[in-house]
């Protein structure tokens, strides 16, 4: 028979069991594809899990990172969440996904071979955002700070954020023991836009397309890489650039203009592995008009050494804002989008000078002239006597 003390202890234990179970962490595993505006999330995109409105994330992963980086396909994420509550909700770039929450106890969502818990969000195009990838232009800024990692709030930008810093210089006063003064100089630093895409594997003789989500800023739509040899975990990075030191200008100012300098680099693929690269890009029509550029002359040029090689470029389409082009390159390096000025043709009228030459009667030699005068005189005498003899002649009469 259990004594009163034992009965009391058992009762306390039974009453405490629900609270003990409620506080026991439950590990849920979620793995799958993350999409932003119907496109697979690019490498470097943040996926976070929050537990029951917790102030901080229970787990965070980066697309293309972690233990599955070498084998995972593009846009793949993996989260192991230690739940201390009942539900977990997911965010991509700080945006709540279309599946707002999921019970922690329903994990794992991975059978060892195939993911079956996919996430999807609609990427913001303007207004407030969290993370830089929440904006269509790829920029989320708060003042001079650009958010590229962690959570934060700011305003979507269409171009790089500018950070203003101050530098001070001391100047000495002139004559008479004058004191020194300080001058504050403001400097602006522009952060280049960078985007990286990852493909887990490209078989020999095939190609893979890396779509650029920040095309409104970078002006590159996609990079298609065709390989000769099978390569794994290929990364392609597109970055805003400028004219490299020591390189010739891509096109002389009097002949045309440079629309954009870009650097496209690769990881885990060698030049010898690449068969060809197709680069799709776009050029604003307003830029062509402002710079008097002929759209038929737009070309992608590749920097080889310190000189530029013009690549085969063709226009593929247009809309109200852009002309769209495609160029083929044997490899990747620094590129320049250039155009030539419109050639103005003017019609030239050549005036032919006419010269009036006066007609001068021929001048006869003296001897010829005297003979000519003599003939005229003889002719005049003959005519005179013929007329005279005609008047004195009377015809005979017959009776």
Q: Where are the domains of the chain?
A: 24-121, 126-162, 194-340
**Structure confidence at residue 172 (pLDDT):** 46
CB-based contact 72:226 (threshold 8 Å): no
User: What's the DSSP call for residue 365?
Assistant: P
Buried b (16+ CB within 10 A) or exposed e, 323-352: bebbbebeebbbbbbbbbbeeeeeeeeeee
Fold of 24-121: Immunoglobulin-like (2.60.40)
Half-sphere exposure of 56 (CA within 13 A, CB side): 4
CB-based contact 193:239 (threshold 8 Å): yes
**Structure confidence at residue 9 (pLDDT):** 53
Whole-angstrom distance, CA of residue 42 vs CA of residue 134? 12
**Structure confidence at residue 383 (pLDDT):** 72
**Structure confidence at residue 188 (pLDDT):** 45
- The H-assigned helical ranges of 196-350 are 215-218, 285-290
As a 3-state breakdown, the chain gives helix, strand, coil percent values, each rounded to 5, of 15, 45, 40
CB-based contact 294:350 (threshold 8 Å): no
Whole-angstrom distance, CA of residue 163 vs CA of residue 366? 105
Fold of 194-340: Chondroitinase Ac; Chain A, domain 3 (2.60.220)
Strand order in the sheet with 154-157: 128-129, 154-157, 139-142, 145-146
Per-residue pLDDT 10s for the chain (399 aa) are 456 555 555 555 555 554 444 445 566 677 788 888 777 877 767 788 777 655 555 667 766 655 555 566 677 887 777 766 667 788 887 777 876 667 765 555 544 444 467 888 876 655 666 666 666 555 666 655 666 544 566 666 655 555 444 444 444 444 444 445 555 544 444 556 788 888 889 999 999 999 988 888 899 999 999 999 999 988 898 988 888 888 899 999 889 999 999 999 998 899 999 999 999 999 999 999 999 999 999 999 999 988 999 999 999 999 999 999 999 999 999 999 999 999 877 656 565 566 666 656 655 556 666 677 777 778 777 777 777 666 665 665 655
Residues 6+ apart with CB under 8 A from 191: 146, 160, 161, 162, 163
């Amino acid at each position: 028979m259990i004594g009163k003390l034992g009965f009391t202890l058992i009762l306390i234990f039974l009453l405490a069991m629900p609270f003990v179970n409620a506080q026991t962490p439950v590990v849920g595993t979620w793995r799958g594809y993350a999409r932003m505006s119907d496109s697979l999330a690019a490498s470097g995109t943040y996926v976070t899990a929050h537990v029951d409105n917790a102030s901080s994330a229970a787990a965070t992963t980066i697309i293309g990172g972690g233990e599955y980086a070498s084998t995972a396909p593009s846009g793949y994420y993996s989260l192991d969440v230690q739940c201390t509550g009942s539900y977990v909700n997911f965010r991509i770039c700080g945006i709540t996904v279309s599946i707002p929450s999921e019970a922690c106890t329903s994990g794992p969502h991975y059978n060892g071979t195939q993911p079956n818990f996919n996430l999807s969000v609609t990427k913001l195009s303007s207004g407030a955002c969290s993370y830089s990838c929440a904006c269509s232009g790829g920029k989320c800024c708060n003042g001079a700070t650009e958010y590229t990692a962690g959570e934060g709030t700011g305003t979507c930008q269409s171009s790089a954020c500018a950070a203003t810093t101050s530098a001070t210089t001391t100047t000495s006063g002139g004559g008479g023991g004058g004191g020194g003064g300080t001058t504050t100089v403001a400097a602006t630093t522009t952060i280049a836009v960078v985007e990286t895409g990852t493909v887990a594997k490209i078989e020999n003789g095939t190609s893979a397309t890396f779509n650029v989500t920040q095309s409104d800023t970078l002006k590159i739509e996609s990079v298609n890489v065709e390989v000769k040899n099978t390569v794994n975990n290929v990364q392609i990075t597109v970055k805003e650039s400028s004219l490299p030191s020591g390189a010739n200008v891509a096109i002389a100012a009097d002949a045309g203009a440079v629309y954009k300098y870009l650097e496209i680099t690769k990881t885990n693929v060698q030049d010898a592995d690449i068969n060809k690269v197709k680069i799709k890009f776009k050029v604003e029509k307003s830029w062509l008009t402002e710079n008097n550029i002929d759209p038929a002359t737009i070309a992608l040029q590749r920097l080889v050494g310190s000189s530029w090689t013009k690549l085969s470029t063709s226009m593929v389409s247009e809309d109200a804002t852009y002309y769209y082009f495609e160029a083929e390159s044997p490899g990747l390096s620094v590129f320049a989008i250039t155009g030539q000025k419109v050639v103005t043709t003017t019609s030239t009228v050549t005036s032919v000078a006419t010269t009036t030459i006066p007609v001068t009667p021929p001048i006869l030699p003296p001897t010829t002239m005297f003979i000519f005068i003599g003939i005229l005189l003889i002719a005049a005498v003959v005519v005179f006597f013929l007329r005279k003899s005609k008047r004195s002649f009377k015809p005979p009469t017959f009776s």
